[in-house]
Amino acid sequence: MERCVCFHRFGVLLCLSLSLATGICGRTRAAVLANARPFSAQTLPAPRAPREAPSAPPAAPQPPKSGEYVLSSDRYEKAVTYSRAAYTMYFVSVGLNILALVILLRLGIAAKFRDWAESVNDKRWIQAMIFVPLLVLTVNVVALPLRLYGHVLSLRYEMSVERWGSWLLDWTKEQLLMVGFALIFALMLSAIMRRSPRRWWLYLWLAALPVVLFFVFISPWLVDPLFNKFAPLQAEHRELVAAIENLTRHAGVPIPAERMFLMRASEKTNEVNAYVTGLGASKRVVIWDTTIQKATANETLFIVGHELGHYVLGHIWKGFLFAAALMLFGFYALFRALHWTLGRWSGIWRIYGPEDWASFVVLLLLVEMGMFLAAPVENGFSRIEEHAADVYGLEVTHGIIPDSSEVAAQSFQVLGEVDLADPNPPEFITFWLYSHPPLGERLVFAHSYDPWSKGEAPKYVK
C-alpha cells in the first residue's frame, strides 16, 4: 500500500526538492520509517536477534483473534526488538549526519572541495561537475557503515535475502542517481541565486515543482527497473488480473491489464507489498511476487483497493499541494537560515557567501535539521490520508470480496507477521515517525468497520 517512491507521498516530493542539491535522499531514515509503513520495500536495522536455527522460515501468519493483531511469542519478541532498534537508528542517523556535516565545515573540508573545483576551470558548470560529486559521495560514504549494518541485521532477521553483490550494486546505482539529480538541482539553484539573490527561494520553488512531477512521471519507466525486475502480471496470474480489473472498474478508475505488473521482489526481500504508481501514461498497478506467495487473492485485492483510494479521494493532488506549500515555507526558511548562519560562521568556515559552492554544505546541514523537525507534520498529514484509504479499501471491496472486513483484517495480520510490524509502538514514535496508523489499530478498525449492518451510509463508496 505504500512505497518510498510512490508519487502521492508528499514526503518523497519534499525529500527530492529539498535534498537533491546535496545528494542525500534520507535512505537510512526511509529504512527506519519502513516499520511505520508495513508495505514498504525498505529494510530495517535492529539489534542482534536471539540465536536460532539458521534460515528457519517465518511461522505461518495466524488469523486475528477477536479483531486483534496477534503474534507468537517468538515473532512478538523479534518484532519489538527489530522495530524499537529501528527507531533508535533513525535518531542516531540524524545525529551522525549533522555531526558529519559540521565536521566538513569546521575542518575546512568543504572549502577545500570548492578550491579544487575552482582551480580546474572558471566555468560554474564545470566546477559543479567536480564539487557536487565530491560532496555527495563523501557524505554517503560516511553514512555507508550504518547502511551496511542495517543490511546485516535485515539479513539476520530474514527481512532481506539480497546478496551482498546485488546490494552493493544497488548502492552504487543510488549514488549515480543522486549525483545526477544533485548536479541538476545544484546548477539550477546556483543560476537562480546569481540572478536573484533575494528571491531565489521563490524561483527555486517554482522550478522544483515541475522537476519533481517529471521525475514521478518517468520513475516507473527509467528508475524502478534499475533496482527490480518487472513482468506483465497477466502472463502468470490471469485470474488475479481479471479480479483487479473488476475492482478498478467498480472504483471508477479502470486500469487495463497492460498496466499491471509483477515485481520479482523475492530476489531481494521477504517483505510483501502492492502499490499503484506513476502519473498519466506511466500509471500502473504493481504486485510483488512475495505478496502473491504469502497473501490470498482477496487479501491482495484489499491492498489494491486501499491504493485505489488514494486516487479516487484525490490524495495525489492534495498531497502534492500540501507538499508544495510545505516546500515554499521550507525554501523561505532555508533562505533566512542560510543568511543567518553565514553571517555568524562564514569566516570560520571560509565561505564567501550564499553563491559559494561550499555554502551547499550549509544548505545540506539546514535541510537535514529542517526535515527532521518537519517529520511530525508530514507524517501526521499522511496518517490522515492512509486512514481514509483504509476506509475506502473496505468500502470498495464490500460486495466484491466475501466477508471483506475479515479479509482486510487478515491482510494486516499477514503483513504484520511477515514484516515484523511493531505491535505496540510508543505514542511519541507514532507521532514523529509513523506515516500510517499503527498496524494493530488498522487491523482493529478493519475488523469492526461495518456501516451496512447498522443501516448507515458508507463514507465514500455509496
Instruction: Give the Cα-Cα-Cα angle 137, 335, 432 (nearest 5 degrees).
Output: 70
CA-based torsion, 443, 445, 448, 451: positive or negative: negative
Nearest to 271 by CA among 27, 54, 40: 40
In angstroms, the Cα distances linking 163 to 155, 174, 263, 266, 286 are: 9, 17, 18, 12, 23
Q: Does the annotation mark 441 as catalytic?
A: no
In angstroms, the Cα distances linking 413 to 56, 302, 331, 390, 405 are: 20, 13, 41, 15, 12
The phi and psi torsions of 146 (rounded to 5 degrees) equal -65, -40
Task: For the beta carbon of residue 240, count every other beta carbon within 10 angstroms.
Answer: 19
Q: Which residues, at least 6 apart from 178, have a Cβ–Cβ distance to it below 8 Å? A: 20, 23, 24, 25, 136, 140
Active-site residue, from 307, 368, 395, 417: 307
Residue type, 159: M
The helix/strand/coil state of 450 is: coil
Q: In whole angstroms, what separates CA 166 from the centre of its chain?
A: 20
| Largest separation between any pair of C-alpha atoms in the chain | 76
- Give the dihedral of Cα atoms 433, 436, 441, 442; nearest 10 deg: -160
Q: Which residues, at least 6 apart from 232, have a Cβ–Cβ distance to it below 8 Å? A: 257, 258, 260, 261, 262
Distance separating alpha carbons of residues 274 and 131, to the nearest angstrom: 39
Catalytic residue annotation: 307
